[in-house]
Amino acid sequence: MRVIGIDPGTAITGWGIVEGEGNELSLVACGVVTTPAGMPLPQRLQSIYRELTTIIDQYQPNSSAIEELFFSKNAKTALAVGHGRGVAMLALANADLPIVEYKPLEVKQALTGYGGADKQQIQQMVKLLLALDDIPRPDDAADAVAVAICHLHSARLRLLE
């Protein structure tokens, strides 16, 4: 199974492609889609959509996972992230990919076994589980890779049921 994981945002959208075969996981590619701060929102969303569509076409995942929106106290930020998340989901849906959503707590539990894990612990587990020399950078890419790993672990558990 080849999964694209998405860590949504408007300024930075992280993406990661992870392949899983049995218990073996491997990183195919990861990165970020960035949009300039001064760019109007409609053009930012268009840019995110186009770049994700290109990435999906290039790497041909057969499943997708996206992090659910975490509501903070800043409603304006949450709304902007929601726009980016919606555009990312549209790119995944238009590619006919099954989309599974995960709460940040679920991602943390899947990777570390602890829902209160911090960002550094998650990143270290990404490095360990994929046998990488370094943690994927920037952080948004590592977060997206974590979402993809969470989905692969969850899919494996569903097969056992």
140 catalytic, yes or no?
yes
Indicate which residue of 51, 67, 106, 143 is catalytic: 67
Q: What would the two tokens of residue 70 be?
A: 């975490």
143 catalytic, yes or no?
no
First to last CA, the chain: 18
Indicate which residue of 51, 106, 140, 143 is catalytic: 140
Helix (H) or strand (E) holding 122: helix 119-129
Indicate which residue of 7, 51, 106, 143 is catalytic: 7
The amino acid at 56 = I
67 catalytic, yes or no?
yes
- Region of 54 please: left (phi>0), alpha (psi -120 to 50) or beta: alpha
Three-class DSSP category at 1: coil
List residues with catalytic annotation.
7, 67, 140
